[in-house]
């Protein structure tokens, strides 16, 4: 694969022999993980399952043999992260994969009769959707209802009967439901053990479900993707439940950490992922294929000790036609200094909460820059090429409102939700602002936490700064931000390169 670096090829070969770990942004971590999974599956073809042993030996010699074939389990912290991997694996030749979702997602499509629903749903409809028809076709709850499954016809009859009872408002008996569940269990066992599945994909939490643990008794390798975002106990679920002989952790401990709400748990170290704990043993993927060299320079120095390098294929891209950068086409970065008024969200809504923040001056500046990009360079920049990021949901909500209509194809999201994604042009609105005469020249840690909030989190900072392929624009109050060492370093870098501007930029 041309998108893999020499270092990445080395990573695939090394991991094929023994467990390893990898990280770095835009370096093809997920693609590397997909290739590792593929070669593990190829390696497993040489190993024998109970079915093969029965053909070659007597029944008594098979005692204690595995019921399922040698398999790989591939996990991640979220459905989104696992779905991305699933789509990539589906492009691999001669590979059979199975995507296993949670009961909540499966029962949204195929509800179990008489089952009490939770009084309050914890996940939105979007989170319960399967992202594509391609993934749906390899998901466990669809596979067991497909033509290859020997139990599909029986399941169909039960479900048609339940639908008729519901239409006629008749009660469905508990015995009938129990029998239906039993058939589902047999069908799932068939899918996991006898359908020839080589790679099972699920979230870390789902990997501990009884159906996977009881049916998949011959898992050889366990891969945990985005491991830097998983709590340590979360990573331990697939590792311990699978009993895998080899474990691969893939992630970037310099980007988003596990989300821990409880302050005591955080203080006691729950926010330190297993990946971060073992990061000194990691194999580093040093070539990045996303960012223009000028965008990569600061994150590489600040977060990766200068080891993150830009691939030649990125350096040899055609010159950008965008000329509104202060340093012209040579350096497609800018920090736009805006002294706005920070406000807290007045009411709780589905889009934001009471703790969220907005800065209307930055809202208008972000929208102006985005419109300028797509209007002035209409032949080169599509609306979908541009994203506006912010640490705050209230800011995202206000920007989205102003883009409704002709500009709604310009994506607006939070920095945390942008991890793993990339766009040609990224505009970041940092929101936090204080009047210059109110800024404490020697601030305490509590003052910084109060007035900078999320912005003191270097993991979020790193994510925001590494999403752009061709151009990056940051909007914020330099006088406040300079009180934080990391942001001070960034502003000095931008100023030194002539990329620090005031709010009258860009000029029409």
| pLDDT (0 to 100) of residue 122 | 57
Which of 104-118, 343-357, 369-383, 392-406 shows the lowest per-residue confidence on average (mean pLDDT)?
343-357
Question: H/E element holding 141?
Answer: helix 140-143
Strand order of the β-sheet with 386-390 is 411-414, 386-390, 423-429, 468-476, 333-337, 500-501
For residue 337, give both structure tokens: 């200094």
CATH class given for the domain over 323-346+353-501: alpha beta
Domains 29-46+67-111+130-281 and 323-346+353-501 share a fold: yes
Q: Which residues contact 466 (CB under 8 A, 6 or more apart)?
A: 25, 26, 255, 290, 291, 295, 296, 299
Span 136-161, mean pLDDT? 96
| Higher per-residue pLDDT: 371 or 27 | 371
CA 435 and chain centroid, separation: 36
Which of 128-132, 160-164, 267-271 shows the lowest per-residue confidence on average (mean pLDDT)?
128-132
Identify the sign of the CA torsion 142, 146, 151, 152.
Answer: positive
CA 28 and chain centroid, separation: 13
The residues pairing with 413 across neighbouring beta strands, listed in sequence order, are 389
Structure confidence at residue 127 as a pLDDT band (50, 70, 90): low
Task: Give buried/exposed letters for 338-369 (b at 16+ CB in 10 A, else e).
Answer: bbbebeebeeeeeebeeebbbbebbbbbbbbb
Q: Which of 340, 351, 349 is nearest to 397 (CA)?
A: 351
Residue 265 clears pLDDT 60, i.e. is over it: yes
The residues pairing with 412 across neighbouring beta strands, listed in sequence order, are 388
* Listed ranges 320-329, 438-447, 485-494; the one with the highest mean pLDDT: 485-494
Distance CA(41)–CA(467), nearest Å, equals 32
Structure confidence by residue, pLDDT tens digits, 205-243: 999 999 999 999 999 999 999 999 999 999 999 999 999
Q: What CATH number has the domain spanning 29-46+67-111+130-281?
A: 3.40.50.300
Phi, psi at residue 354, to the nearest 5°?
-65, -25
- Cα–Cα distance list, 366 to 332, 385, 475, 506 (Å): 16, 15, 7, 11
Residue 149 clears pLDDT 70, i.e. is over it: yes
| Percent of the chain's residues with pLDDT above 90 | 72
In the chain, domain spans: 29-46+67-111+130-281, 323-346+353-501
Q: Which of 333, 253, 334 is nearest to 296 (CA)?
A: 333
| Higher per-residue pLDDT: 6 or 102 | 102
Phi, psi at residue 55, to the nearest 5°?
-70, -30
Structure confidence by residue, pLDDT tens digits, 307-351: 999 999 999 998 888 888 998 768 999 999 999 999 998 655 444
Structure confidence by residue, pLDDT tens digits, 401-436: 999 999 999 999 999 999 889 999 999 999 999 999
The answer to whether the bond into 506 is cis (omega within 30° of 0) is yes
Q: Which residues contact 401 (CB under 8 A, 6 or more apart)?
A: none
Q: How many CB atoms lie within 10 A of CB 470?
A: 21
Phi, psi at residue 128, to the nearest 5°?
-95, 0
pTM for the whole structure: 0.84
| pLDDT (0 to 100) of residue 26 | 63
Span 380-389, mean pLDDT? 96
Q: How many CB atoms lie within 10 A of CB 301?
A: 14
Structure confidence at residue 47 as a pLDDT band (50, 70, 90): confident
DSSP state at residue 146 = S
């Amino acid at each position: 694969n041309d998108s893999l670096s020499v270092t990445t090829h080395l990573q695939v070969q090394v991991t094929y022999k023994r467990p390893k770990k990898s990280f770095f942004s835009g370096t093809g971590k997920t693609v590397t993980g997909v290739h590792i999974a593929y070669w593990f599956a190829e390696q497993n073809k040489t190993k024998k399952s109970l079915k093969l042993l029965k053909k070659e030996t007597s029944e008594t010699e098979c005692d204690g043999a595995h019921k399922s074939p040698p398999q790989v389990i591939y996990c991640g912290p979220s459905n989104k992260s696992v779905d991305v991997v699933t789509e990539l694996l589906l492009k691999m030749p001669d590979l059979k994969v199975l995507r296993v979702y949670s009961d909540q997602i499966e029962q949204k499509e195929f509800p179990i009769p008489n089952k009490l629903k939770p009084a309050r749903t914890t996940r939105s409809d979007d989170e319960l959707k399967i992202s594509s028809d391609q993934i749906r076709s390899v998901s466990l709850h669809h596979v067991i209802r497909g033509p290859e499954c020997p139990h599909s016809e029986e399941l169909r009859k039960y479900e048609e009967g339940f639908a008729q009872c519901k239409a006629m408002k008749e009660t469905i008996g508990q015995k009938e439901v129990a029998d239906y569940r039993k058939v589902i269990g047999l069908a799932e066992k068939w899918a996991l053990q006898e359908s020839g599945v080589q790679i099972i994909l699920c979230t870390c939490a789902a990997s501990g479900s009884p159906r996977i643990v009881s049916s998949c008794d011959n898992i050889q390798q366990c891969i945990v993707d985005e491991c830097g975002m998983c709590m340590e106990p979360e990573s331990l679920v697939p590792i311990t439940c699978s009993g895998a002989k080899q474990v691969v952790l893939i992630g970037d401990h310099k980007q988003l950490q596990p989300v821990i709400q409880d302050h005591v748990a955080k203080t006691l170290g729950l926010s330190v992922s297993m990946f971060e704990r073992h990061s000194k043993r990691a194999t580093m993927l040093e070539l990045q294929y996303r960012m223009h060299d000028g965008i990569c320079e600061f994150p590489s120095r600040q977060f990766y000790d200068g080891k993150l390098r830009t691939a030649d294929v990125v350096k040899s891209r055609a010159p950008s036609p965008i000329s509104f950068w202060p340093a012209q086409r040579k350096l497609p970065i800018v920090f736009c200094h805006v002294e706005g008024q920070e406000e807290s969200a007045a009411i709780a809504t589905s889009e934001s909460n009471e703790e969220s923040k907005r800065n209307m001056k930055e809202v208008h500046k972000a929208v102006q820059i985005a419109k300028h990009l797509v209007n002035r360079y209409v032949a080169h920049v599509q609306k979908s090429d541009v994203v506006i990021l912010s640490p705050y949901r209230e800011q995202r909500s206000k920007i989205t409102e102003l883009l409704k209509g002709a500009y709604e194809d310009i994506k607006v999201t939070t920095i945390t939700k942008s991890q793993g994604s990339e766009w040609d042009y990224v505009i970041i609105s940092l929101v936090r602002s204080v009047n210059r005469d109110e800024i404490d020249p020697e601030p305490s840690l509590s003052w910084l936490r109060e007035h900078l909030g999320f912005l003191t989190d270097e993991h979020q900072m790193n994510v925001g700064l590494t999403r752009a392929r061709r151009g990056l624009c940051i909007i914020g109050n330099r006088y406040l931000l300079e009180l934080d060492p990391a942001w001070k370093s960034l502003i000095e870098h931008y100023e030194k390169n002539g990329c620090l501007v005031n709010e009258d930029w860009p000029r029409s």
